[in-house]
Chains A and B, each alone.
Chain A
Amino acid sequence: MFKRCVQFLMIAFTASAFAQATAVKAPDVLVKDVTEEVLTTLRTDPAIKSGDAIKTAELVETRVLPHFNFTRMTALAMGKEWRATTPEQKKLLTDEFRTLLVRTYSNALISYKSQTIDYKPFKMGATDTDVTVRTQINQANGRPIPLDYALEKQDGGWKVYDVMVAGVSLVTNYRETFAAEIRAGGVDGLLKALRAKNASTTPAPTAAASK
C-alpha cells in the first residue's frame, strides 16, 4: 500500500515536472509560432485582407502583445531618465509608448505580410535568461532584412523586450529623441509629444491598412 502510494506520488511529480517544462515555450519556438500564426491570419482572414483596421489591431493585441514586456521596453527607451520618473509617469509613458510601438509594428507586419520569414539557427544554454532570436524577412525584390527579437525569461514565459530591424533597435532608437524632449520640456513634455504623435495618426491601423 505504502509502496503504491510512493509510486503514485513519483509518477505524479514526474508528470507535473514534465508539464511545467513544456508549459514554457522555448524562445525561438515562441517567436516562430507567433509569427507564423499572425502571418497566416493576415494572409487568409478575409476581413483583414480587405483592410479591416479593427480586426488587424485585435489580432496584434490578442496574439502578439501578451508576449511583449512594454514596461521594460519603455525603461530601455528612456535610459537613465527612467529613474527620475514617478510611478504615475512610468505608467503613462508605458501606455503611450506601447501605442506607438504597436502602430509601428502593425505597419511593418502589414507591409511585409507577403514575404517569407527565415528563422536562423538558435542555440541557448539551459540557464540563459536573456537571448536573441534571429529571423530574416525575404523580399521578392531587394535585400533580405534581418529582424531580431531580444527576449528575457520571466515566470510567465519568455517576453520580448526589444525588436531590431537591420541592426536598429526599435526601442533604443528613441533614446536620443526622448532625452531631447525631456531636456526641452521635462518628462511631461515627452508625454505631451508622445500623445500628440499618437493622436496625429489615430486610429492606428487605419493608416496601415490603407497602405
Chain B
Amino acid sequence: MTKTNKQSNLNLRAVLAATAAATVLAGCATSGNPKDPIEGYNRAMFSFNETVDKAVIKPVAQGYNYVTPQPVQTGVSNFFGNIADIWTGVNNLLQGKPGDALSDAGRVLVNSTIGILGLFDVATPMGLEKHEEDFGQTLGRWGVGDGAYVVLPILGPRTVRDTVGLAADIYTDPVRDADAHRGYRNTAIALRAIDTRADLLKAEDALEAAALDKYAYVRDAYLQHRRSAIYDGNPPRQADDAALPSLPADNLTSTGPDEASWNLLLVGQSDILDVKALETQEPAEAAAPAEQ
C-alpha cells in the first residue's frame, strides 16, 4: 500500500505517459500470454527499472538499512502505515466491509494518540489487525477485471485496473496533500519510498534464487498476489487450478493419494512414502489402475 503511494504528481504524469506508450507499443512483441499482451514493452521497462534500482534505489535502501537502527525503521514504517490506514479504511467501506473499516478507524485513533502520532503500532497488540487495501483492490472487488499486465516506470508491476486504482491512491494520498510544507512533503515521500524498498531487500534474495525467468516470475507473482489480496487472502480456486488436484487422476491416476496407495502395494513399503520410490514405479503404477 505504501509502495503504491510513494510517488507524487510527477510520477502520475509518468504513469500516464507509460500507459500511452504501452498502448502504442501494444502491437509489438508478444509470446502469446493472454494476460501479458504487451510483453515486449513490459520486458524493456522491467529491465529499465532493474537498472535504476540497482544504480540508485537499492543502494540508498541498503544505506538506510545500515545506518538506521531497527526501532527507528519500525517507527518510520508505523508512521506511514498509520497514515495509510485511513485510505485502507475508506476502501474497506467501499468494499462493503464496515466492520473492517471501523477497525481501521479505531487503529488510526489509537495509534495517532496512544501510539504518539503513529510511531508505535499499539493497535495490533490490542487485537485491531492491520489490513492492506487500495483502490485497485476495491475495483477488483466491484468486479473490474485485471486488464493487461503493465510494468510502469519506477513504480513497477501493475495491471490496467491497478494503474487506475493507483491514480486514485495517489490523488487521495494525505502525505502528498501536505502542500503547505513542500520541503517536508517531498522528504516524507522519499523517506516512505526508501523505507518500503528497504523492507523488500530480504524478499529479493529469495526471488533471485527461485526465478528461472525473473521477469515472468515477478509478473506471475504480482498477478497471484493481487488476486489473493482482492479476496483478502482467501481467493476461490481458479478454473485451471480447480482442474489440477484431479488432473493427475484424470490423466494417469498418478501423484494423487491414489498413487500413494498403488505404490505402497507395488513397492511393498508401508512406512514413509519415498518420492523416489514413487517415481521409479510410475510406469507400472500407471498401468495398474487400468487392470482393476
Contact = CB atoms under 8 A, between A and B. Distances in A.
Interface in B238-274: 240-241, 244-245, 247-248, 250-252, 254-257, 259-261, 264, 271-273
A104 B278 contact: no
A167 B224 contact: yes
A182 to B, nearest CB: 12
25 contacts: A68-B275, A71-B254, A72-B255, A75-B248, A79-B247, A83-B251, A87-B282, A90-B282, A100-B212, A103-B210, A140-B70, A141-B73, A152-B245, A154-B260, A154-B261, A156-B264, A156-B273, A166-B225, A170-B210, A172-B244, A174-B217, A177-B220, A181-B212, A194-B212, A197-B212
B264 A155 contact: yes
Interface string A29-67: 000000000000000000000000000000000000010
Contacts of A175: 220
Contact of B260 (A155, A166, A176, A197): A155
Contacts of A75: 244, 247-248, 254-255
Q: Which of B206, B220, B227, B278 has the most CB of A within 10 A?
A: B206
Interface in A184-211: 193-194, 197, 201, 207-208, 211
Interface residues of A, number: 59
B228 interface: yes
B228 A168 contact: yes
Interface in A139-176: 140-143, 146, 152-156, 159, 164, 166-170, 172-176
Given A111-B202, A175-B220, A207-B209, A71 B70 contact: no
Which DSSP category, helix, strand, loop or mixed, fits chain B's interface?
helix
Contact of A141 (B77, B211, B224): B77
B199 interface: yes
A82 interface: yes
A104 B209 contact: yes
Contact of B224 (A72, A91, A173): A173
A94 B211 CA distance: 17
A68 B210 CA distance: 18
A141 B273 contact: no
B240 A176 contact: no
Contacts of A169: 224
Contact of B205 (A66, A68, A83, A211): A211
Given A79-B240, A87-B282, A155-B273, A130 B229 contact: no
